[in-house]
Amino acid sequence: MQLSAELYSQIIKDLVSDGLGEFGRQQRREPRVGVRAKAHILPSLSAATPVPVRIRDVSVGGVGLLIPRELGPDRLFLLLLPKAGGHPPLRLACTVAHCQAIAEDLYALGAR
């Protein structure tokens, strides 16, 4: 996933934080904006049913999500980001960079 500055700005504007606080700190190659928002993924390109997820952070080159099930490394999925004003969600093709269990039925996923 590689976003233009304009698209990154629009995504941050459209996502509404729910104020749950920060989830850990890590060194990053690109600055990330901490976000607490709801979104959905299609875990495969053939999936028809969106899976609800929580967005933790967003950068120009990636996104951190909390998801209810594990996705393997290098797996391709679609991230459906909400847009303001009732517009259809923005669909971004992403690749899993890492996915780690943090609780029962809860995984921290990093994607690019």
Q: Quote the tokens at residue 91.
A: 């669909």
Rg (CA), the chain: 13
Reduced to 3 states (helix: H, G, I; strand: E, B; else coil), residue 28 is coil
Query: Which of 68, 49, 65, 54 lies closest to 97 in space, CA to CA?
Result: 65
The string of pLDDT tens digits covering residues 32-85 is 778 889 999 999 878 889 999 999 998 888 999 999 999 999 999 999 998 888
The confidence band for 16, taking pLDDT boundaries of 50, 70 and 90, is low
Which pTM does this prediction carry?
A: 0.72
